Amino acid sequence: MKCAYEMAMEPTMPHRHFNVLIKCVKANGVRLIERTENGRTGREFIHCIAEAVQEKCAVILASTDFFSILSDGSQARKTKSEKELVLIRTERNGIPVYIVASLLKMEKFGGGSADAIVKGINSLFEETAQYELPTEAYRGKLVSCTADGASVNTGKYRGVLTQLKRDRPWLLTIHCANHRIELAVKSSLNIAEFEAVEEFYRTNYQLLKNSGKIKAQVAECARNLGIHYYQLPKIHGTRFVNHRRRGFKNLLETWPAYTLAYENAVADTQGGTANTRAKISGLLKKFKSYSFMCSVDVYLDLLEQLAPTSMVFEADTLMPYEVSSAVTRTILQLREKEDEIGKEGEFLDSYAARYHITEDGVAKGQFVKAGHKKKKKQNREYVTVEFQMNGFDRDQCLEKVRNIKKKVIPVVIATLKDRFASYDDEIFSKMQWIDPAFWTSDKEFGIEDILSLASHFEEPLSLASFDTSRALKEWKSFKIFVRSHYSKLPEAKTLWQSVLCNRRQEFPNLCKLASLIVSISGSNSSIERTFSVVTNILSDKRLSMHHNTINEALVVYGNDSLWSTEER
């Protein structure tokens, strides 16, 4: 098993090296079947383990009452052929788990159209398929589907989600919350000031990426100043908010090192080409411009307000009813920031206060001492660094920040409201009864919600032998049980993990309804993580790997978290 994982996931090792692993194992005294090993043996081994994993996953799926499907598409790096990754979310031992079902090769189903994707997804559950389910069980157990906002998925008439819902009127078709907030933020921050900030970052990133010499000079200047050197990460990708937040924070924390290094590079007339020196000179002007630094500060301030919600949407355990609450919190925080504009204390928690700027243009700030980044915050030491800015009018620069916030914050709020309007659907609010944070002292609380969910999901619940009247009786007992067994109301995830593991016989119908809710996913973040696994498997030395081998390696590694030590 360990060899199979190494073969599947070690990016530097082609599968033809499997016979070397076998020889090493034999040399250490492990008894193996005597046979001639060759380049195919590794693929055979992975194939055998993948079959065993799929059989175990099929048992999990067959034993569950409800499940959801998550899907997302991508293109192969070498052939540019369409691939569709399918995950299954269900409840197991009280927590949501994801089964990596398959990486579908869409050529087999007729391309990347909506009809082909639906055909590919259905093929996973047909007779003789990996996750074979009776037709009625596949139809009735599926309670939600989550995908990104591409028209092929969300098309009104022929979209993937629309077709899957056609014979399942109860099916929740969910546009991934994580994709929504990324698109909302990207479109609402699309103003000239922020475009200039992003272009500034990209130019710096490309300059350092293409010139090891300049990168080394910046790192050396950071060492000379005694501060930690933060590298600039790539900021493009699906995680718009957090990628940019991390990138610009690193830039701001190394600002004096860039200023010093670029000054030296411009002064060195013998180093680099004229074009490079001209580019560095242009960047240096912005590094020494307090007005431009203020644009970076306000951009980071807004990202900081949006980052917590983005992080919530990236959680594996995200419940659909949590989406609307997270967006509402963000909108309230943005409105508070809007109300603070022009008032005392407006910049207390702003990146605009990162540096103290004197009247003669000297910027002073505290920076993490070199080598202290990985230490706990209370154990870190800091270095005070001063550097010269160009002439500026401080009040005018801060007024610029206020104008940007006045222009952008209302647009961000309106865009978030528009993008997440569908989460105001009553069906999501009816799921809040499972979270003690929403409980009230009203004796009738939760009854209407349970009745509404029982009505909406009538067919899946009927297939699971759910009894509504018994569920209502259990609900009254359940509230008493929670208050008597917990000193204070626990978090929903902690509570239901305990109840679904230990109290199913006591509250059978209530547990079935909770299991249905836990099985519904509001985000495709797990798919994005699994695509990262595919990237690791399909390294530059494996670009000719057959699709079936990629799929099997993904199934082996992607489902590893499902197994306990005994199961493994």
Judged against a pLDDT cut of 70, whether residue 44 lies above it is answered with: yes
pLDDT at position 416:
93
**pLDDT tens, 415-435?**
999 999 888 778 998 999 999
User: What residue has token string 């593991």?
Assistant: 501
| Gap between the Cα atoms of 446 and 324, Å rounded | 19
| Gap between the Cα atoms of 298 and 304, Å rounded | 10
**pLDDT tens, 467-498?**
999 999 999 999 999 988 887 878 888 899 99
Judged against a pLDDT cut of 90, whether residue 40 lies above it is answered with: no
- Count of alpha carbons within 13 Å of 450, Cβ hemisphere only? 24
Tell me, yes or no, whether 488 and 508 share the same domain.
Answer: yes
Judged against a pLDDT cut of 60, whether residue 33 lies above it is answered with: no
**Could you tell me if 524 and 320 are in contact, meaning their C-beta atoms sit under 8 angstroms apart?**
no
Query: Coil, strand or helix: which one is 69?
Result: strand
| Gap between the Cα atoms of 242 and 226, Å rounded | 28
What percent of the chain has a predicted confidence (pLDDT) above 90? Answer: 49
Within 10 angstroms of residue 91's Cβ, the number of other Cβ atoms is 24
List the structure tokens of 213: 């010499």
Does a structural domain hold residue 371?
no
Burial 409-430 (b: 16+ CB within 10 A, else e): beebbebbeebbeebeeebbbb
Does a structural domain hold residue 191?
yes
pLDDT at position 5:
62
Tell me, yes or no, whether 198 and 65 share the same domain.
Answer: no
Nearest to 291 by CA among 346, 385, 363, 379: 363
Residues 6+ apart with CB under 8 A from 83: 73, 74, 75, 76, 103, 104, 105, 106
**Could you tell me if 321 and 429 are in contact, meaning their C-beta atoms sit under 8 angstroms apart?**
yes
Within 10 angstroms of residue 235's Cβ, the number of other Cβ atoms is 20
Mean pLDDT (whole number) for 28-56: 74
pLDDT at position 29:
66
pLDDT at position 146:
93
List the structure tokens of 555: 């199934």
| Gap between the Cα atoms of 525 and 329, Å rounded | 21
Judged against a pLDDT cut of 90, whether residue 332 lies above it is answered with: yes
Q: Which residues constitute the domain of residue 250?
A: 182-346+394-414
Does a structural domain hold residue 425?
no
Q: End-to-end alpha-carbon separation of the chain, Å?
A: 9
Judged against a pLDDT cut of 70, whether residue 36 lies above it is answered with: no
pLDDT at position 124:
93
Tell me, yes or no, whether 140 and 159 share the same domain.
Answer: yes
List the structure tokens of 249: 């924070």
pLDDT at position 282:
93
Helices (H), 268-319: 274-287, 290-313
**Could you tell me if 562 and 90 are in contact, meaning their C-beta atoms sit under 8 angstroms apart?**
no
Query: Any idea what the Cα angle at residue 438 is, between residues 436 and 441, rounded to 5°?
Result: 85
**Could you tell me if 522 and 320 are in contact, meaning their C-beta atoms sit under 8 angstroms apart?**
yes
What percent of the chain has a predicted confidence (pLDDT) above 70? Answer: 92
Helices (H), 142-254: 151-154, 160-165, 177-188, 192-210, 212-225, 240-253
Mean pLDDT (whole number) for 493-510: 92
Crossing angle for the helix pair 192-210 and 274-287, nearest 10 degrees?
Answer: 130
Does a structural domain hold residue 373?
no
pLDDT at position 15:
67
pLDDT at position 25:
66
**Could you tell me if 561 and 533 are in contact, meaning their C-beta atoms sit under 8 angstroms apart?**
no
User: What residue has token string 């190494």?
Assistant: 6
Mean pLDDT (whole number) for 61-83: 86
Judged against a pLDDT cut of 70, whether residue 1 lies above it is answered with: no
Tell me, yes or no, whether 200 and 314 share the same domain.
Answer: yes
What mean pLDDT, rounded, does the chain reach?
A: 87
DSSP H/E element including 173 = strand 172-175
Nearest to 185 by CA among 521, 420, 428, 523: 420
pLDDT at position 390:
85
List the structure tokens of 277: 């020196």
Residue 252: band (very low, low, confident or very high) from pLDDT cuts 50, 70, 90: very high
Q: How many structural domains comprise the chain?
A: 3
> Which residue type is seen at 183?
L
Strands of 340-486 (E only): list them: 356-357, 362-368, 382-388
pLDDT at position 271:
67
| Gap between the Cα atoms of 434 and 454, Å rounded | 14
pLDDT at position 35:
61
Q: What is the 3-state secondary structure (H, E, C) of 88-120?
A: EEEEECCEEEEEEEEEEEHHHHCCCCHHHHHHH
Judged against a pLDDT cut of 70, whether residue 12 lies above it is answered with: no
List the structure tokens of 493: 């995830």
Does a structural domain hold residue 353?
no
Tell me, yes or no, whether 531 and 485 share the same domain.
Answer: no
Tell me, yes or no, whether 160 and 60 share the same domain.
Answer: yes
Mean pLDDT (whole number) for 322-336: 92
> Which residue type is seen at 461?
L
Does a structural domain hold residue 352?
no
Tell me, yes or no, whether 195 and 242 share the same domain.
Answer: yes
Tell me, yes or no, whether 437 and 297 share the same domain.
Answer: no
**Could you tell me if 19 and 41 are in contact, meaning their C-beta atoms sit under 8 angstroms apart?**
yes
Q: For residues 263 and 344, which has the higher predicted lDDT (pLDDT)?
A: 263
| Sheet with strand 95-105: strands edge to edge | 95-105, 82-92, 67-75, 142-147, 172-175
**Could you tell me if 177 and 523 are in contact, meaning their C-beta atoms sit under 8 angstroms apart?**
yes
Mean pLDDT (whole number) for 133-150: 92
Judged against a pLDDT cut of 80, whether residue 27 lies above it is answered with: no
Does a structural domain hold residue 377?
no
Tell me, yes or no, whether 288 and 192 share the same domain.
Answer: yes
Q: DSSP secondary-structure letter at 343?
A: S
Mean pLDDT (whole number) for 352-381: 85
Does a structural domain hold residue 360?
no
Tell me, yes or no, whether 550 and 504 share the same domain.
Answer: no
pLDDT at position 207:
92
Mean pLDDT (whole number) for 390-407: 88
**Could you tell me if 412 and 189 are in contact, meaning their C-beta atoms sit under 8 angstroms apart?**
yes
Query: Coil, strand or helix: which one is 73?
Result: strand
pLDDT at position 9:
63
Nearest to 415 by CA among 194, 188, 148: 188
Judged against a pLDDT cut of 80, whether residue 26 lies above it is answered with: no
Average the pLDDT over each of 43-47, 449-453, 521-525 and give the range with the smallest value.
43-47
DSSP H/E element including 47 = helix 39-63
| Gap between the Cα atoms of 114 and 25, Å rounded | 47
Average the pLDDT over each of 6-10, 243-247, 278-282, 404-408 and give the range with the smallest value.
6-10
**pLDDT tens, 508-529?**
999 999 999 999 988 888 888 8
| Gap between the Cα atoms of 264 and 9, Å rounded | 44
List the structure tokens of 4: 């199979």
**Could you tell me if 298 and 404 are in contact, meaning their C-beta atoms sit under 8 angstroms apart?**
yes
| Gap between the Cα atoms of 535 and 526, Å rounded | 14
* Whole-prediction pTM: 0.86
Tell me, yes or no, whether 503 and 555 share the same domain.
Answer: no
Judged against a pLDDT cut of 90, whether residue 344 lies above it is answered with: no
Tell me, yes or no, whether 408 and 554 share the same domain.
Answer: no
Q: Name the burial class of residue 547, with classes exposed (0-12), middle (13-18) and buried (19+) by CB atoms within 10 angstroms of its CB.
A: middle
**pLDDT tens, 530-563?**
888 887 777 776 777 788 888 888 898 889 888 8
Within 10 angstroms of residue 195's Cβ, the number of other Cβ atoms is 11
- Count of alpha carbons within 13 Å of 409, Cβ hemisphere only? 23
Judged against a pLDDT cut of 90, whether residue 141 lies above it is answered with: yes
